[in-house]
Amino acid sequence: MDNIINLQKKIVPELSDLLVERYRILRQVSHDAPIGRRALAGELGLSERVLRAQVDFLKTSGLLSFSSLGMAVTDEGNDLLRDLSDYVRKLQDLSKLEKLLVENLHIGRVVIIPGDCDKEEVVKKEIGRAAARILLQLLADGKKQHVVAVSGGTTLAAMAENVRGNEPNTIVVPARGGLGDKVENKANTIATVLAGRLKAKYRQLYVPDSVSGEILNSILAEDPGVKAVVEIIKSADILVHGMGQAKIMAERRGLENKAMADLIADGAVGEAIGQYCDINGKVVYVTNNAGLMMNDLKRINKVIGLAGGKSKAQAILSVIRASHQDILVTDEAAARDIVKML
């Protein structure tokens, strides 16, 4: 199979671009359907006319359907899209990239989505889709009861959106308390949504951000509800978490100028589940809250990290080095940038 791809790259290299272009269109429509020509062209950064030529073709091929509401992907198109993602990955040598990351970062499995989150919103959704598939596979894996811990963030939200399962014995919990500015991206919210789509149970952890250490301790010691949830969280066998840029996450948490300056001075570039780490994988700061810590990750059966976008490359690398990851789902832009830093 790889042989065929190399063969084609040699003798019909122009094919790659065309195929990827059509793949991108199909993928975008798949997420935004129904959508019109002009809006679609805008999102993909193509001129209307060029896009039109392609969608006309895709229509003729029976992959897209047109209505007065806009374009949508046909069933056949969706089948094709699924197969195509693997193929595009190989075509762009992402398989090799994945292998490289697996070996150099000691991760069990790396999945790279073609594209760049920073430039195409749809890529983040695709990361979510891929993560959703992986999660469902893990849950379907025989064992009766699972405890799934999730962090917050838009990528996690994208995953939750793409999950659909029937796992009444599974419990979904937030990995840590608090954190998150928008309600829809808080870990608690995501746990709820995910549990809903999984038909699973869920528990929430109500511990606000920025409480002092003493108050936190007293809550943990005295509140039996919180205590129970924390115990469940600590028993999680699957963790799905996002990774963020240290500075952006710190701002989002409303860190004071002083603390922020310290953070930067300590070289913090990445953040995951409330811990900040530098590019060498050293944890330099931990937010004051309850739930999982980086050290706990080793005990968890499957740790799944999600993040994409060239801007997050450093952050991703720092978190991976600081923790134990079983599965990483990222995008092409981040992956290529990470490789440069190795």
Return the range that interacts with DNA (CB under 7 A); candidates 34-42, 212-220, 277-285, 301-309.
34-42
> Does residue 59 interact with its own copies by CB under 8 A?
no
> Does residue 47 interact with DNA by CB under 7 A?
yes
Report the residue number, 49 or 144, with the smaller CB distance to DNA.
49
Residues pairing with 171 in the sheet: 147, 201
Backbone angles phi, psi at 331, to 5 degrees: -120, 170
Minimum distance from CB of 48 to DNA (Å)?
4
From the list DNA, its own copies, none, pick the one residue 10 interacts with, judged by a Cβ distance below 5 to 8 Å according to partner type: its own copies
- Give the residue, chosen from 5, 8, 20, 37, that forms a contact with DNA under the rule CB under 7 A: 37
Determine the Cα–Cα distance for residues 232 and 40; give it in Å rounded to an integer.
44
User: Residues 130, 113: contact at Cβ < 8 Å?
Assistant: yes
Q: What residues numbered 259-298 form the site for DNA, per CB under 7 A?
A: none
> Does residue 3 interact with its own copies by CB under 8 A?
yes
User: Residues 37, 71: contact at Cβ < 8 Å?
Assistant: yes
- Give the residue, chosen from 6, 15, 48, 166, that forms a contact with DNA under the rule CB under 7 A: 48
C-beta atoms surrounding 133 within 10 Å: 16
Pull the structure tokens for residue 320. Answer: 């991976």
Residue 322: enclosing H or E segment and its boundaries? helix 313-322
Residue 11, Cβ density class (10 Å: 0-12 exposed, 13-18 middle, ≥19 buried): exposed
Minimum distance from CB of 333 to its own copies (Å)?
23
Report the residue number, 34 or 165, with the smaller CB distance to DNA.
34
Minimum distance from CB of 140 to its own copies (Å)?
24
- Give the residue, chosen from 8, 19, 20, 59, that forms a contact with DNA under the rule CB under 7 A: 59
Pull the structure tokens for residue 196. Answer: 């809903």
Return the range that interacts with DNA (CB under 7 A); candidates 61-69, 110-118, 119-127, 165-173.
61-69
- Give the residue, chosen from 44, 63, 71, 157, that forms a contact with DNA under the rule CB under 7 A: 71
Q: Write out the residues near its own copies by the rule CB under 8 A.
A: 1, 3-4, 7-8, 10-15, 18-19, 22-23, 61, 63, 80, 83-84, 87
Q: Write out the residues near DNA by the rule CB under 7 A.
A: 34-40, 47-50, 53, 56, 59, 66-71
